[in-house]
Amino acid sequence: MSKLYLVPTPIGNLEDITLRALRVLKEVDYILAEDTRTSGKLLKHFEISTPMQSHHMHNEHKTVETIVKRIQSGEVFAMISDAGTPAISDPGFLLTRACVQHNIDVECLPGATAFVPALVNSGLPNDKFVFEGFLPVKKGRQTRLQFLAEEKRTMIFYESPHKLLKTLTHFGEYFGKDRQISVSRELTKLFEETKRGDIAEVLSYYTEKPAKGEIVIIVDGKK
């Protein structure tokens, strides 16, 4: 039966892939990959020979209609990102929405995503939270930070290492330097690290010790 599977892949440690994910990736007709070179290494490791097709933020607007028609004709697709769950700050939403609109069966497997372990091990309240992903780089950044300064729920952000100090500085300006935060990087990998404290302390730490790897920032809500 024609279908789209959304399949999470490990964010670092290859042991985090599920048995179900491996089965689905072997059984589908095609795998949509954010970067076929990156995903090719993963598939080779697990001896999966399913054909891949490139599907990323630069071409997804053009390829969605074609993929939908192919699924409607009877083909079964799985979508994966470079790491984690598709559509979480990665390609996937446009195709998922199009499939739903055309009454195509969509199934998302549970699995790896970076913000859940970062939130849980932060020690900050996790009963209510808001996922912000990446902040706007320029336009809209100030407006968004002004709005979030009043947010009472725990906030989750993604950030790249070369923008971390800038973002932490902005957090101090808009949220107050005494706001509690947790910065997790290289989750599930060999040099995994989580630094907790107020914004001033964490900013000082990463000023002296520049961060490497993918980063998740957890920020306490306004009290």
Average pLDDT, the chain: 95
Q: Which range marks the domain in which residue 101 is found?
A: 3-108
CATH no. for residue 51? 3.40.1010.10
The pLDDT assigned to 56 comes to: 82
In terms of domains, do 173 and 97 share one?
no
DSSP-derived 3-state class of residue 201: helix
Which of these three, 51, 84, 108, is where a domain ends? 108
Q: What's the domain count of the chain? A: 2
Q: In this model, does residue 1 exceed pLDDT 80?
A: no
For the chain, counts of helices (H) and of strands (E)? 8, 10
135-161 pLDDT per residue, tens: 998 889 999 999 999 999 999 999 999
Identity of residue 109: L
In terms of domains, do 179 and 100 share one?
no
27-55 pLDDT per residue, tens: 999 999 999 999 999 999 999 999 999 99
What is the C-alpha to C-alpha distance for residues 203 and 145, in angstroms, rounded to an integer? 17
171-187 pLDDT per residue, tens: 999 999 999 999 999 99
Residue 6 near residue 87 (C-beta atoms within 8 A)? yes
Residue 215 near residue 158 (C-beta atoms within 8 A)? yes
Which of these three, 77, 108, 139, is where a domain ends? 108
Which of these three, 76, 108, 140, is where a domain ends? 108
pTM (predicted TM-score):
0.92
CATH no. for residue 127? 3.30.950.10
User: Which residues in 104-192 belong to E strands, given as ranges?
Assistant: 106-108, 129-133, 154-159, 180-185
